[in-house]
Structure 1
Amino acid sequence: MAPSVSEIAVETKDTLLDRVASLKIHAEAEKPAVDSKTGAADPGPSYPFYLPYWDKDERWPPLEVFEHTDPGLRADPSKPRLLTADVVRRDLTPYIGTELENVQLSQLSKEGLDEVALFVAERKLVVLRNQDFKDLSPERQIEIASHFGPIHRHPTSGNVKGYPEFHIVYRDASHNRFREYIGGDRANLTSWHSDVSYEKQPPGTTLFWILDQPPLGGDTIFSSQVEAYNRLSDAFKKRLEGLTAVHSAVAQAEYSRKRDGPVRREAIETEQPLVRVHPVTGEKALYVNQGFTRRIVGFKDEESEYLLKFLYDHISKGADFHVRANYAPGTLVLWDNRVTVHSATQDFSNASRRHAIRLTPQAELPIAATA
């Protein structure tokens, strides 16, 4: 079995030891002196190795197009390595979300991971509890995630020094970049998006796990873009199919620059189909999101705004094809970015710490649905 992160701090070179020590000092400097609820001393982040790191001088070349074969295409449809006799399955809603017990992702074979890719494509979101994933070495975490595709390196977010594959989600009493990014003067703090949909080859099967979680709140809401599409009339579906929309990284890059943060790759804008087809299941799904979709190609400004507003409202109000994933340390969730959108929930105390990691494998060039 791969060594844990705590073991790495002992076994690696002095430079890594110095860096971990520096991160601990940083955590001590930022944390409140006491827990706001209990009055007890705050121990700081459970995994200071994964505190977010930014280097504004870091630069990367543009991403290149690559061939991608989804591992779900190789999977045994009966999933004998994943859905064993010991596994307890609980579907969370008819359209999206399944929780599995007695599965340890790190122990699955390559064939088992193929079955995971297929199952996530079918159920859109899969929740795994009591995983050892958070305690694996970063190399092993990246190795497992890479089974699903090349890991995307985010152009602006906090990562781990020396490990740019990690996308760090971190908030505590003195650090709340997400709230700043979406704007503070809002009645509704949901922000529906599909991760980095502006990339030419956006993500597919995505991994997200919790290191520290508030005692209440801090969930993620997911919506099935397949069911959102299915609810539309046949005539409306035909009108959408064949259309494309521009997805933009510009606002994200400008926000990072204003904060004196990195823009590791120059911001791009990419045309993506409004309706895409999943390469494994063949299902059609809407592919628009408030976070990154900017306009419909070929439409007048008012036409584009009107249609996109309808689609955003349809997706966000569709509570009967949403699911809310809740977390605890050791929870690992996998979702398919091609056929879902999601939003964090900013419903927990400002004094609480929430610390999570995302590894984001890229997938194929989006396949457009044809009318």
Structure 2
Amino acid sequence: MPSADPVPETVPSTIVGGHEKARRQSTKPLVYSGSLDSFKHNDSTPSIGREIPGLQIEKILTSPDADTLIRDLAITVSERGVVFLRNQDVSVQSLIALGQRLSTLTGSPSSSGLHIHPITEAGSELGDQISVISSVKQKKGAAPAVDPLTEPSKFSSNGWHADITFEPVPSDYAILKIHTLPDSGGDTLWASGYEIYSRLSPATAKYLEGLTAIHDGNFFNGIAQRLGHPLRTESRGSELNQGSNLQAVHPVIRTNPVTGWKSVFVNKAFTKRIVELTKDESDVILGYLFNLVALNHDNQVRFKWSKNDVAIWDNRSNWHTATYDHNEVRIGDRVVSLGEKPYFDVESVGRKEGLERREAGKENGVGKEEELVVREKGDTAAGELK
């Protein structure tokens, strides 16, 4: 694939936010080349989710056209929110390799690597870059029983989140393979931030586009203590992600650089306060945004796992939540790559408008979308791998 554009000396005037140490080489959206078109797929809902039954990660990693295939897979994930791949015969090392390449092939900053979670035990068997998602570990790290006056909420919808938004440089992509699961239960749900943005009135959307919010994950300090090992305070995949204060400020509305689409970027688990507002004002607005996620089942996809299934999602424009409806063991391996420091581009568009522009471009041969994207040149890879 062609070499990337050089890092601009100045930030484009349309960009609000970001950080020079975690800046993308280009903020122009990317275009899918068609290399995966020969794989059959099923869209889970109109707004989010796609299953590609015949795609095996190990095969695309070793394909001569691996870069093109992986880049197109990443673009598909960014557009559809989450992609499901069934029954994957894939090693932990290959999950790590895929996580790195999804991120780098779509233009993430060179300073961004794979995330090391603050509660990952140093010297763990699978290495720093694998987060073990375990029901056993989750129970061990849970807070002890409390008095009824401070009992945690019983609403499972409080679990909606995007991964590690408490980091100054949060995640772009995440990969999760579940290899041990209960007989029933343990599903995961995802919801689209693009669709939630589209449900805002134009006046509300415009107002929110100028605001920032505090994301806080300092409860992980207590979890690390209960697990019996220290919090990881060294560089966690980016030099901007270090120290014991797990807190960051990000735009309330964020632009996904891969698609150029606007997304709501707050979540119930980590977002605590809108900076520019009073606490009362912030609570009302955040509560409304959280409800848009939790109460709109038509903007959610629920995935029932089978052994060795893999999900890949874009944390910049989606939320997810686990379902704790079982008492059996459920374990998986997760890789989380880091993207850019979140920013808002005033020239970005909503998902609906972006798709309409694309269709207009197809009808006109070239169309307006050509002005908005960086298109890969060269041969198109075949999607059918034997």
TM-score (structure 1 length as normaliser):
0.74
Q: State which of 109, 114, 118 in structure 2 corresponds to 1:155.
A: 118
Partner in structure 1 of residue 42 of structure 2: 90
Q: Following the alignment from structure 1 to structure 2, what is the Cα–Cα distance between the partners of residues 226 and 218? A: 26
Letter in 2 for 1:355: I
Matched, 1:361 2:337: yes
Matched, 1:110 2:110: no
RMSD over equivalenced CA pairs, Å: 2.6
Is the deviation greater in 263-272 or in 220-229?
A: 263-272
Matched, 1:79 2:34: yes
Aligned pairs for 1:92-241 (under 5 A) are: 92-108=44-60, 109-133=66-90, 136=91, 138-149=92-103, 150-157=113-120, 160-161=124-125, 163-172=127-136, 176-177=139-140, 180=143, 185-190=152-157, 191-241=159-209
Q: Check the 8 A contact 1:170/1:353 in 2, yes or no.
A: yes
Shift of 1:189: 2.5
Q: Check the 8 A contact 1:250/1:268 in 2, yes or no.
A: yes
Letter in 2 for 1:147: R
Over 3 Å counting, the alpha-carbon distance change for 1:177 and 1:125 in structure 2 is farther
Structure 2 counterpart SS, 1:343? strand
Shift of 1:334: 0.3
Q: Following the alignment from structure 2 to structure 1, what is the Cα–Cα distance between the partners of residues 145 and 188? A: 16
Higher relative contact order (CA 8 A, sep 6+): 2
Shift of 1:255: 3.4
Shift of 1:214: 1.0
Q: Check the 8 A contact 1:72/1:117 in 2, yes or no.
A: no
Structure 1 counterpart SS, 2:337? coil
Unpaired stretches in structure 1, ≥5 consecutive residues:
1-63
Partner in structure 2 of residue 267 of structure 1: 245
- Identity score, percent: 29
Shift of 1:370: 3.6
Q: Check the 8 A contact 2:30/2:258 in 1, yes or no.
A: no
Matched, 1:310 2:288: yes
Q: Check the 8 A contact 1:65/1:201 in 2, yes or no.
A: no
Q: How many residues are paired up?
A: 298
Over 3 Å counting, the alpha-carbon distance change for 1:182 and 1:344 in structure 2 is farther
Unpaired stretches in structure 2, ≥5 consecutive residues:
1-19, 61-65, 104-112, 234-243, 348-386
Aligned pairs for 1:32-71 (under 5 A) are: 65-68=21-24
Partner in structure 1 of residue 214 of structure 2: 246
Q: State which of 272, 287, 299 in structure 1 corresponds to 2:277.
A: 299
Shift of 1:67: 4.5
Letter in 1 for 2:291: D
Q: Following the alignment from structure 1 to structure 2, what is the Cα–Cα distance between the partners of residues 338 and 357? A: 20
Shift of 1:258: 5.0
TM-score (structure 2 length as normaliser):
0.71
Shift of 1:241: 0.6
- CA offset digits 1:166-185 (Å, max 9, x no partner): 1111124x962476499975
Shift of 1:68: 4.1
Q: Following the alignment from structure 1 to structure 2, what is the Cα–Cα distance between the partners of residues 355 and 284? A: 33
- CA offset digits 1:108-129 (Å, max 9, x no partner): 1121100111000110010001
Letter in 1 for 2:68: E
Q: Following the alignment from structure 2 to structure 1, what is the Cα–Cα distance between the partners of residues 200 and 185? A: 32
